[in-house]
Amino acid sequence: MPPRSNPALLAFALCLITLAVNLQAPLYITYADLSGQGAAATAVAFSAYVVGVLPVLLALGGLADRVGRRPLIIAALLLSMLATLLMLVAPGLQTLALARLVLGLGTGLATATATAYMGELMGGASSARAANWVTASTSLGFGLGAALTSLFLLRGPSLTPGSFHLQLVLAGIALILTWRLPDPRPAQRGAMLRLPFYPRGSAVYGLAILLAWAGTGLVIALLPGILRQHGLSAWSGFSTFCVTSCGLLFQPLARRMASTKATLLGLAILPCSYALLAWGANAGQLGAVLLGAVAASSACYGFIYLGGLAAVNQLAGSEKTRASAGFFLLAYLGFSVPVIFTGVLSDRLGSGMALLMFGGVLLLGCAAVALALVVSARDSADSAPLRLQ
């Protein structure tokens, strides 16, 4: 394959785009202290990311058809660099909210076209293989940024750790490489607005990913403050890496399972892993936090993510793009709204009570969604092997 069409270059770009998203995660509590704010304000700033993603997800579904694939990836790289520059110039909670908004816009633009573009660069390879590349590169990126920042912070406290400068350098390289990529599909005229669509039987999978990503959001946004009480805040980036990127290890197993079974397994793992993680955070047991984060990642970015997305694609027929948008709409709502409420509870009742209440709701939610999934599967006799369409 000619170098210009190498899909690895696109995977590198996607990794750098998502690497920037959680680059600042280990510093959330520091930004809150600088601004004189608590967990609730931190959660709101964290959730600004979703405010950036949702407009792209809801209203700009046809943008890639109009301008092409490559321009959206280039725009996303530039936005990731802008967000990092903002945090270098004016570190603080208000700037974090703005940077997260910019990162949300960039991630939305990239994910809107990444799988289709990857498939075209692979020369018409199956959408399953293209989706696997995209999932692997983005899952790695989401966790790697936080881990890199934690590594630099272990050398000493800083508002501008070397990981920020490293992201700018690597994203600049990715920008040059992406510029050389071809854009196989010519721009076309088409409808810009493509609203999310929920085929019959798909909503329950959306609720499953909502619960899963609520747990992920809680770890990224609020865990640094809890770990700081035990002198472990510098390690929070590794918990973010474990809860996002380690799910990649479980994806091969998830692909060999039926979609319903994979999702049910994830729903069983999720409350158990959260209990271990929350206990470890409250007790200052770093090993329990990291082990719980890895287990949670197996559900959030392994079994529930792949199982749910595969099922939705199977149910969607010719409306796969809109159905995927509906799936991710619920995922991102879970990534933001429960985190904000838990942050408010943490400020008012203490972190221990907030974690306990979140865990109770999570357990009840997982049980209810699992029951609905079993009933739905029984009605539809869903036993097809899981495949990303």
Per-residue pLDDT at 383 exceeds 60: no
Residues 228 and 282: beta-carbon distance below 8 Å: no
C-alpha count within 13 angstroms, C-beta hemisphere, residue 330: 23
- Which tokens belong to 140? 């790695």
Q: Give the mean pLDDT of the chain.
A: 86
Q: What contacts 283, CB < 8 A, 6 or more positions away? A: none
**Chain segment 216-262, per-residue pLDDT in tens:** 999 888 888 888 888 887 788 898 999 988 998 998 898 889 889 99
> Which DSSP state fits 236?
H
Return the closest-CA partner of residue 386 out of 261, 258, 250, 252. 258
Same domain, 3 and 150: yes
Same domain, 176 and 218: no
Return the closest-CA partner of residue 70 out of 38, 24, 109. 109
Domain boundary pick from 152, 170, 193: 193
Helix H or strand E encompassing 38: none
The predicted model gives 126-152 an average pLDDT of 84
pLDDT of residue 64: 65
In whole angstroms, give the CA distance from residue 110 to residue 223: 28
Which regions of 267-364 does DSSP assign to beta strands (E)? none
The predicted model gives 123-146 an average pLDDT of 80
Same domain, 242 and 139: no
Per-residue pLDDT at 358 exceeds 80: yes
Model confidence at 387, pLDDT cuts 50, 70, 90, reads very low
Per-residue pLDDT at 359 exceeds 90: yes
Model confidence at 112, pLDDT cuts 50, 70, 90, reads confident
Per-residue pLDDT at 186 exceeds 80: no
Model confidence at 9, pLDDT cuts 50, 70, 90, reads very high
**Chain segment 276-293, per-residue pLDDT in tens:** 999 998 888 989 999 999
Residue type, 174: A
Same domain, 226 and 258: yes
pLDDT of residue 388: 43
Residues 372 and 204: beta-carbon distance below 8 Å: yes
Same domain, 225 and 179: no
Same domain, 364 and 279: yes
Domain boundary pick from 193, 215, 238: 193
In terms of residue numbers, what domain contains 39?
1-193
Per-residue pLDDT at 125 exceeds 80: no
Model confidence at 10, pLDDT cuts 50, 70, 90, reads very high
C-alpha distances out from residue 329 to 42, 137, 180, 235, 333, Å = 22, 21, 32, 30, 6
Same domain, 216 and 188: no
Centre a 10 Å sphere on the Cβ of residue 358 and count the other Cβ atoms it contains. 22
The residue written with tokens 């959206």 in the block is 72
**Chain segment 23-49, per-residue pLDDT in tens:** 999 999 899 888 888 888 999 999 999
Domain boundary pick from 161, 193, 225: 193
For residue 385, the cross-strand partners are: 258
Same domain, 221 and 169: no
In whole angstroms, give the CA distance from residue 280 to residue 288: 5
Same domain, 167 and 207: no
In whole angstroms, give the CA distance from residue 148 to residue 19: 9
Per-residue pLDDT at 389 exceeds 60: no
pLDDT of residue 292: 94
Same domain, 184 and 255: no
- Which tokens belong to 88? 């270098």
Sequential DSSP letters for 135-168 = HHHHHHHHHHHHHHHHHHHTT---SS-HHHHHHH
**Domains identified in the chain, total number:** 2
Which CATH number goes with the domain that contains 264? 1.20.1250.20
pLDDT of residue 108: 87
Per-residue pLDDT at 68 exceeds 80: no
Same domain, 44 and 121: yes
Per-residue pLDDT at 110 exceeds 80: yes
Same domain, 162 and 297: no
Angle value at C-alpha 41, between 39 and 47, nearest 5 degrees: 100
> Which DSSP state fits 258?
B
Coil, strand, or helix at residue 294? Answer: helix
C-alpha distances out from residue 145 to 10, 45, 139, 166, 305, Å = 18, 18, 11, 10, 21
When comparing pLDDT for 99 and 235, which is higher?
99
